[in-house]
Chain A
Amino acid sequence: MGEDIIAAMKENVIQGRKTEEDEGIDEELTGPGVLELTKEALDKGISPQVIITEGLTAGMQVVGEKFSTKEYFIPDMLASAEAVGAAMDVLKPHLEASNVETKGKFAIATVQGDIHDIGKNIVSILLKGAGYEVHDLGIDVPTEKIVEFVREEKPQYLGLSALLTTTMVVMGNVIKALEESGLRDKVKVLIGGAAVSDEYASEIGADAYCVDGFDAVKVLDAYQ
């Protein structure tokens, strides 16, 4: 019975059905969505860890594969990620109650001077769905504020986003400011955005460049 729920959950993640009212990719699929199935699984005593690894994360892995082969596009991926994000909100108190640790604390910000937030939001929701504790600091975030967050909240990972060639330079300033504050070795810095690249990441001393949200999940998981 439990296996059926988990299998249905995985399938509904792949189909991007958050609730029973949502249409999936496959028009035939009806019945409870990810949110209802998550609640049902908890009621049946299935552990949050099993729900996450065998249902949600397993589903997102398939979505990631479909995205990389261009069978899925960004909206399809977002529908799935949104469903997983909503399920994670339901699971959060249960995880806390059973002292299950997240995969780590991840802070993300669009750097000062840049106001683009779509890429940042996509990365946030995918990492949240992959089991990371995500702190979104927002857009146009002053360098000092990012440094302060790293000092006070001690995230293991920091994601910096910038869309433009004029604002990507600020990412380098953030890394310098972290060095000057003696915090650089406390946090892995990942960068992303249309104008940046692997080369740029090495140039400014970032730990990694992530081409998209799935890449960010892959990079962070490799640190585990």
Chain B
Amino acid sequence: MVTSDHIDIKIDRKNVCRHLGYRNGIKPSLRISSLIKEYMGEAHNLIEPLYVYIIRDIEQVVGSNIYIEGSIVFNGEVIARLLDRCCKVALFVVTIGKYLEEMANRLAEDGLILQSYVLDAIGSDAVEKLADFVKGILDDKARVEGLVTSRRFSPGYCDWDISQQEMVFTALEGDSIGVQLTEGYLMVPQKSISGIIGISTPDSGAKNYNPCETCRKYDCLGRR
């Protein structure tokens, strides 16, 4: 399912500041604040939110291999532990399009690194918001059937090899929303998120499954 309906993405200033590196409640200086405000206003014209997702039955989980309806096979212990508790899985790709990063690149080329960095941070929050929006759609769909959804998981995180992006993209026709994979399985536009969300009965433990709780990689950028 591909959708390009108008989606109102509400960029969160606090999250933008977090992406910019501000921590412990420290607020940006006046100059940086006004720059964030200015670019948050401009960003809406540079964002073209698009998403695609499918929902498939999980056939079986054997060890770290997950067999999904439609000859989709994933491998990874962390997602196997999640999907073993689920009856279905949603595969998704979302993107805010290429315009924001084209603008950020142009600014960087002109030596306006600060402006470029601020715009990039806004893009990071925007694409996260879009992924949350898709999770919201899946939540609603699951609820109708008395089911719940899990957190999002993406190839390249934990032990889920990034090369399995290819499986996600083949199943979804990710390029239908203009997202391409590089040889190293990175997405272009970069402000895109791909992954899975498990769907299960409320008592399965999938909803709150968080592998970070038992992981010792404390410096991980994806820690939650």
Task: Report which A residues bind B (CB closer than 8 A).
Answer: 16-17, 22-25, 27, 70, 73-76, 78-79, 81-82, 85-86, 89, 113-118, 121-122, 125, 140, 164, 166-167, 194
Contacts and interface: CB of A to CB of B under 8 A. Distances in A.
B184 A81 contact: no
Interface of B: 20-22, 26, 28-32, 34-35, 105, 108, 111-114, 116-118, 120, 156, 162, 182-186, 188, 190, 221
A17 B21 CA distance: 20
B21 A121 contact: no
> Which of B20, B116, B156, B184 has the largest count of A CB atoms less than 10 A from its CB?
B184
B113 A81 contact: yes
Given A24-B31, A73-B28, A75-B117, A166 B111 contact: no
Contact of B118 (A24, A75, A194): A75
Contact of A74 (B21, B112, B156, B188): B21
Nearest to B118: A75
Contacts of A122: 113, 117
Contacts of B162: 164, 166
A76 B29 contact: yes
Given A75-B117, A113-B184, A16 B31 contact: yes
Contact of A115 (B35, B188, B221): B188
A73 B26 contact: yes
In the complex, the 6 A-B pairs of residues with the closest C-beta atoms, listed nearest first: A113-B184, A78-B114, A23-B31, A74-B21, A25-B29, A75-B32
B113 A113 contact: no
Contacts of B29: 16, 23-25, 76
11 contacts: A16-B31, A73-B22, A73-B28, A74-B20, A74-B21, A76-B28, A82-B114, A113-B183, A113-B184, A164-B162, A194-B221
B21 A115 contact: no
B111 A22 contact: no
Nearest to B32: A75
Contacts of B120: 118
Contacts of A121: 108, 113, 116
B108 A23 contact: no
B70 to A, nearest CB: 27
Contact of A114 (B116, B117, B184): B184
Contacts of A85: 111, 113
Contacts of B32: 75-76, 79
Contacts of B117: 74-75, 78, 118, 122
Given A79-B31, A85-B111, 9 more contacts: A23-B34, A70-B26, A73-B21, A76-B32, A78-B117, A113-B182, A113-B186, A114-B184, A122-B113
B31 A167 contact: no
A115 B114 contact: no
Contacts of B156: 164, 166
Given A75-B21, A115-B188, A86 B111 contact: yes
